[in-house]
Amino acid sequence: MVRSLSVRTVASLGIASALTLLLGACSSFSLPSLSSSSAPTAAPEPGVAPEMPATIRPDEIVGRWGLASYQNPADRARTEAAAKGQCKQPYVIGAGSSGGVIMHLADQATPQELRLKGSPSGKNYIGPPGPAGGEQDREIVSFDGRVLITRFTDKDAATRYGNMVYVRCAPRA
């Protein structure tokens, strides 16, 4: 008899503990309100920032460009002159069908449509859709309308290609 009483007590305490846990868990859930005073709002997904527009428009870089690159910043002026000399065989940046520009990614033989992307830091990037400064993006180091200098964000590509200097070619006669 004593034994069955202690089993009942233990069972009762176990059931009471389980109910306490279940009721405590219910308080952490919020049920939707049936009142029509406020509309439900969708919370943004964490870690996904809205795409920022670049300060450079795609139509500003569409055209024919002489292209060269440098590793050493002291070679910039010489490289700009070399890029201008490449206008006999220009690199053509085309307009994309959905508002981007047609350019090559690092190590890709076929050009594709890329986006101009802004960032909270004020830097501009050219790359596939996705967050600014992604692995396949190139940072626009400087742009004055005549000379565009870019650098790949991927360290390996940046080492191989250096700073890409695009000099706008004169319009065809």
39-57 pLDDT, tens digit each: 445 444 445 456 789 999 9
The three-class DSSP label of residue 79 is: helix
Q: pLDDT tens digits for 117-147?
A: 999 999 999 999 999 999 999 999 999 999 9
DSSP 70: E
Instruction: Give the β-pairing of 147-152 and 163-168.
Output: antiparallel
**Phi–psi pair at 34, nearest 5 degrees:** -90, -5
pTM surpassing 0.75? no
DSSP 164: E
Q: pLDDT tens digits for 109-120?
A: 999 999 999 999
